[in-house]
Amino acid sequence: MALDILIVDDERDIRELVAGVLSDEGYDCRTAADSSSALDAVDEKRPSLVLLDVWLHGSKMDGLEVLDAIKAREPELPVIIFSGHGNIDTAVSAVSRGAMDFIEKPFEAERLLLLVERATETERLRRENTRLREGLGEGGEFTGNSAVINAVRATLKRVAQTGSRVLINGPAGAGKEVAARLLHSWSTRADKPFIIVNSARITPERFEEELFGEETDGKLVRAGLLETADGGTLYLDEVADMPLSTQARILRVLTEQSFVRVGGSRQIGVDVRVVSSTARDLAGEMESKNFREDLFYRLNVVPVEIPSLAERRDDIPALAEYFFARYAAEQGIRPPAISEEAMAALQAYDWPGNVRQLRNVVERTIILTPRDQLETVEAEMLSEEISGGNAAGNSGMAALMGAPLREARESFEREYLAIQIRRFSGNISKTASFIGMERSALHRKLKLLGMVQRKGGDRN
């Protein structure tokens, strides 16, 4: 998304000159000639940077007062001051009041560009950090190489350029939003916004304002989500949570590709690609009349299924390594190695909260473990619920101590094998090779221990 710069100066020549120089460099520019239109422009849409003249002839407020008003609204918004020869002192005091820097008129284009670049670099990093905090890497990380995830990735790649609507189905925390962002980043809309509509959180009463925005006397008061998403992707998160009245309105927007702002009368056309997600079974929701069938068919042009993490355990090593590396980097330490035992425990666990839970477990481990022990992640460093899945856990050991050796050994073997088999998704050849047994010997062992194979036999 291009960075948006607001230029405030009472001299028209300066406004046009600066806007010209910056537009040539790919910035989006808006201009204002006086204090009130400057503040209106900030209110209408937060710019990435304001260039502000300290002298504003014929304005209600002078430059310093405008600076204070901007800082009161948007403390983080960078402001660069234009000053004339005679008012360097004012410019310096502007910096002490929160301006980022000042530039003396007349200035060279190069010096201006340098300052603007430096100011917007901070803004670029700020956006990047927000994205990282929200759990997204550049373009949206979608880690995993299991057969299902590879197939999902292939489908997303295939449909990304088409603009077709996509409905992503999968349990909470499995990565539906990550998949939607990946689709967006591969589409022709990648440099346009990706906007999330949180279906459960928007109440039917506030729906119109949230989605369509508001205006008075033909002037925009607040843009809605649809308008913000124009040209980009609109992500309808958990569509099954949408109240029926909301579903009807969404359907109308999809059919007409236009809407009217609250308080306005003009039809505004929008061009958005709709990607939706659900953790529920929409067929069931339609049967019980909680979800509109006509909306379902509009949203579900391309269905994509993201299974729970327990159904694709072979993604766990890559995901664990990815999260350990990421959270280690956040703490300024090198990515730790993961011991065999720790990885086995991670792969054997069931992850009811899916990838989100794995991410949280890794983050907690990194934070709670002393730095000097973080060269290698050991099973004991993981929380009890994860490492406790191993038969060698202390409570398991105590129980075994009360049994004769043969029984204890059998009990240990049974638990050990169950975990290893689960870890390799029931694949007996892989399990046998990992534990260092012949495949046929493992079969015999399982029979002997009374560990009946799942229906359908082993899947090797």
- Is 175 an interacting residue with respect to ligand ATP (CB under 6 A)? yes
What burial letters (b/e) apply to 113-132, b meaning 16+ CB within 10 Å?
Answer: eebbeebbeebeeeeeeeee
**Residue 335, token pair as written in the block:** 């990515």
- Is 313 an interacting residue with respect to ligand ATP (CB under 6 A)? no
Strand locations in 224-346 (E):
233-237, 258-260, 267-269, 273-278, 302-305, 337-338
The answer for residues whose C-beta is within 8 angstroms of residue 352's C-beta and 6 or more apart is none
Binding mask 258-297 for ligand ATP (x = CB under 6 A): -------------------x-x------------------
Among 63, 144, 232, 264, binds ligand ATP (CB under 6 A): 144
Give yes or no for a contact between 301 and 165, defined as CB atoms under 8 angstroms apart: yes
How many whole angstroms separate alpha carbon 98 and alpha carbon 108?
Answer: 24
CB of 234 to ligand ATP, least distance (A): 15
Number of residues near ligand ATP (by CB under 6 A): 19
Among 63, 170, 213, 232, binds ligand ATP (CB under 6 A): 170
CB of 372 to ligand ATP, least distance (A): 28
Binding mask 119-138 for ligand ATP (x = CB under 6 A): ----------------x---
- Is 242 an interacting residue with respect to ligand ATP (CB under 6 A)? no
The answer for residues whose C-beta is within 8 angstroms of residue 214's C-beta and 6 or more apart is 220, 221, 222, 224, 261, 262, 263
- Is 176 an interacting residue with respect to ligand ATP (CB under 6 A)? yes
Residue 147 vs 399, nearer CB to ligand ATP? 147
Q: Supply φ then ψ for residue 146, to 5 degrees.
A: -65, 160
The neighbouring-strand residues paired with 302 are 166
How many whole angstroms separate alpha carbon 392 and alpha carbon 420?
Answer: 13
Residue 298 vs 356, nearer CB to ligand ATP? 356
Give yes or no for a contact between 423 and 454, defined as CB atoms under 8 angstroms apart: no
**Where does this chain touch ligand ATP (CB under 6 A) — which range of 52-60, 103-111, 167-175, 421-429?**
167-175
CB of 24 to ligand ATP, least distance (A): 37
Among 1, 88, 147, 172, binds ligand ATP (CB under 6 A): 172
Q: Give alpha helix (H) positions in 135-206.
A: 147-160, 176-186
Residue 102 vs 194, nearer CB to ligand ATP? 194
CB of 347 to ligand ATP, least distance (A): 16
The residue at minimum Cβ distance from ligand ATP is 175
CB of 247 to ligand ATP, least distance (A): 18
- Is 359 an interacting residue with respect to ligand ATP (CB under 6 A)? yes
Among 356, 439, 443, 445, binds ligand ATP (CB under 6 A): 356
Nearest to 64 by CA among 73, 53, 74, 75: 53
Burial of 334 (0-12, 13-18, 19+ CB in 10 A): exposed
- Is 233 an interacting residue with respect to ligand ATP (CB under 6 A)? no
Neighbouring C-alpha atoms within 13 Å toward the C-beta of 130:
5
Contact set with ligand ATP (CB under 6 A) = 135, 141-144, 170, 172-178, 238, 277, 279, 355-356, 359
